[in-house]
Amino acid sequence: MPTLRKPAEVKRRSRPARVGALASLPLFFPLEGRKVLLAGGTEAAAWKAELLAAAGADVHVHAQELEPAFEALLAAGSIKGRFIHHRSCWSQQGFEGAALAIADAESDEEAEAFVLAARRTGVPVNVIDNPAYCDFQFGSIVNRSPVVIGISTNGVAPILGQAIRRRIETLMPESLQGWAQLASRLREKTLSLLDAGAQRRRFWERISELAFSGSSAPEEEDHLAEVLLEDARTSAAGKVTLVGAGPGDAEYLTLKAVRALQSADVILFDDLVDDAVLELARREARRMLVGKRGGRESCRQEDINDMMVSLARQGRHVVRLKCGDPMIFGRGGEELDRLAAEGIPATVVPGITAASAMAARLGVSLTHRDHAQSVRFVTGHSRKGDLPETVDWAALTDPATTTVFYMGARMAGRIRDRLFAEGLSATTPVVAVSGISRTDEKSWSGTLDELERGVDLLGLEGPVLIGVGQVFRAAGRQAGQGEGFEFHQVFSVRGEIAGAENRGIRTLGKSAAI
């Protein structure tokens, strides 16, 4: 493997040696064929009865009267467990042989009596909506059985638990259930026919990819199993996935990007990739910093290409993690060309490019039909470190065009002068944003003649994007600057800029919208 100028294998963040404090211990309790005592005939009790029966329990319902919802449930029956209705109140004898006891008590006195009776026989107990009398709690559930996810907020924020459940459900297609069931059927065959280690891992990774592909699992799995088993036994070839990490905020990652990170053996990541993005990767993945920053000592692109080739030839799944979108000023094309020449399979997972994130953060449409009918993304410097001469600079002065300059912070003054020379008005609205979607995000807006000064106010510590065009006049108004852009100000979206008051820079709090 070639030696890079500045390669750095990043040590995983230090983690506590022991597990952090838990409000409660998450457990998965098998109930198939086991007795559960349920006291109460209310609608709330009916929901618990349906849940218990779905897990295969024999639910003994003690209630003299049932609400209509409960009567309908008993009439419909259960797809797995069963209901046994006792038209009487619960008694001490009813706890014998029970795995769990649940009650919908009308008063604290009734709840206390139920709990004491359950504990005499050593049965874990839950009183619905009364945490003080509960040995265990029911959480929000994502059901893709045999994949089951339980979410608990320890009873303090049930609505938050439901919101988390909805978020997780968007990540887990309904078809996952069929694939999980298929995986269960194939487990014994896999253990007997594949060697432990790489072969079994390749098999299960392929199953996982199919499970999240959106397609349904086949009803007849024999042919698929033969194909996957053969592939797992013979395939040792590595692959490379170019993944767009977006502008910074981990929430801008696509689902496909997260899945690639979670299946990676090695991650070669840029200097600007946020730690929160790396935290989403597979824990065992090797992380290597191969960042390239303008004006700083960096890894050569040729060395990065050599490293991808070498690691893939070792049978690794290499994720090349790039800020923004790998195919927009990310040298993705060069890397794909090299991989293709070496015969190494490669795919691309697009990311949200910085210009799109900037527009969203500013609340500005880059192609607002009243101002712009085209948008151009332009590099702020050439291979030689100067303004790119192959760009049609005259076309960038078209008043119906929005132009976004990437990597142009150090060239801000020269960009301004070149646009002036091509005839663009000095009062053309411009914006500059540093650290888009990051905790230190700052933005400035003004006019073209002020551009260099505005970028200087932002500083060069973070990546800076420059936008030029009439669509950014709205950004100035939203920042309270008025039509004439009489003031140039820097705004911090996620906290105040240190020492801003001393430099005459206006800051807004975290809740402020740009």
Q: Is 41 exposed, middle or buried (0-12, 13-18, 19+ CB in 10 A)?
A: buried
CA–CA distance, 395 with 391 (Å, rounded to integer):
9
Element (H, E) at 379: strand 374-379
Antiparallel, parallel or unpaired: β 8-9 and 286-289: antiparallel
Cβ(358)–Cβ(404) under 8 Å? yes
CA–CA distance, 498 with 509 (Å, rounded to integer):
13
Catalytic residue among 58, 270, 303, 325: 270
* Number of other CB atoms surrounding residue 280 within 10 Å: 14
The verdict on whether 270 is a catalytic residue reads: yes
* Residues 6 or more apart in contact with residue 443 via CB below 8 angstroms: 361, 362, 431, 432, 433, 434, 458, 475, 490, 491, 493, 514
CA–CA distance, 243 with 321 (Å, rounded to integer):
5
Closest-CA residue to 44 (of 105, 87, 90): 105
Q: Rounded to whole angstroms, what are the CA distances from 462 to 51, 61, 294, 410, 455?
A: 52, 64, 11, 12, 11
Place of tokens 């192959």: 390
| Most distant pair of Cα atoms in the chain: their distance | 94
* Residues 6 or more apart in contact with residue 137 via CB below 8 angstroms: 24, 126, 131, 152, 154, 155
Element (H, E) at 142: strand 140-144
The verdict on whether 256 is a catalytic residue reads: no
Catalytic residue among 48, 292, 322, 442: 292
Element (H, E) at 322: strand 317-322
User: Which amino acid, residue 60?
Assistant: H
Place of tokens 């487990």: 187
What is the Cβ-side half-sphere exposure of residue 470, based on CA atoms within 13 angstroms? 15
DSSP-assigned letters across all residues of 28-44: ----TT-EEEEE--SHH
CA–CA distance, 99 with 462 (Å, rounded to integer):
58
Antiparallel, parallel or unpaired: β 464-468 and 429-434: antiparallel
Tokens for 339? 């991989």
CA–CA distance, 154 with 22 (Å, rounded to integer):
10
Closest-CA residue to 452 (of 476, 418, 482): 418
Tokens for 203? 């098999």
Q: Which residues pair with 296 in a beta bridge?
A: none
Given CA atoms 274, 276, 280, 285 in this order, what sign does their dihedral have? positive
Q: Which residues are catalytic?
A: 270, 292
